[in-house]
Amino acid sequence: MIITHKSIRRGPSIAGLLLLTLLVMLPAGCGYTMKSIYPSGIHTVAVPIWKNSTFRRGLEFRLTEAIDKNIESRTPYRLAPINQADTELTGTIVSASEGILSSSFQTNLPQETQITIVVNFTWRNLRTGAVLSRRVNFAASSTEIPQIGQQLPDAEQMAVERMAQAVVNQMQKSW
């Protein structure tokens, strides 16, 4: 067999290109990284009882407890007393309103209700004094269709849970 310059391949083969592409993308993980969505260097959070500017007694205790549970279950942070914490999450419940979206024609009882909670909060690094996250008039609503026997406080608790989730979501890194 005589080899001429036309039969010699000058470029890489398709298999070679695929292998090269795979090797280049492997360290990058095809765009997927294992970096945390939470700021690094923070291990503990102090969450004092939030202030309550509404007439709904006990709402501040329920919201603080829900935030604590969300931090423990959804973030890498541990709760700690203020004198041992890296950061502090403080807040004030500005308003809590309820509205009836629809009523039953037969009984005139609420068929669909909406509870909206509005808060102001600050997440601050206690070592540096830097504000990690601050929101003013931050609202979360819960629209519920009450089940038979369900009361308005049940819908209110669902709004508290949604607000706690929304606040803890704000503890993620800003992109």
Q: What is the pLDDT along the chain (175 residues), one digit of tens a residue?
A: 555 555 555 556 676 666 666 565 555 554 555 567 888 889 999 999 999 999 889 999 999 999 999 999 999 999 999 999 999 999 999 999 887 777 777 877 767 778 899 999 999 999 999 999 999 999 988 777 666 555 566 778 888 999 999 999 999 977 5
pTM above 0.85, yes or no: no
* Structure tokens that stand for 101 in this block: 């979206």
Residue 11 lies in a domain: no
Residue 134 lies in a domain: yes
Instruction: Give the range of the structural domain holding residue 113, as residue numbers without chain letter.
Output: 39-169
Residue 160's CATH number? 3.40.50.10610
Residue 33 lies in a domain: no
Residue 6 lies in a domain: no
Question: Cβ neighbours of residue 119 under 8 Å, at least 6 residues apart?
Answer: 50, 63, 91, 92, 93, 94, 135, 138, 139, 163, 167
Residue 7 lies in a domain: no
Task: Specify the pLDDT at position 143.
Answer: 73
Residue 13 lies in a domain: no
Cα separation, 69 vs 73, in Å, equals 6
- What are the residues facing 144 on neighbouring strands? 113
Q: What are phi and psi of 104, to 5 degrees?
A: -70, 135
* Domain count for the chain: 1
- What are the residues facing 120 on neighbouring strands? 92
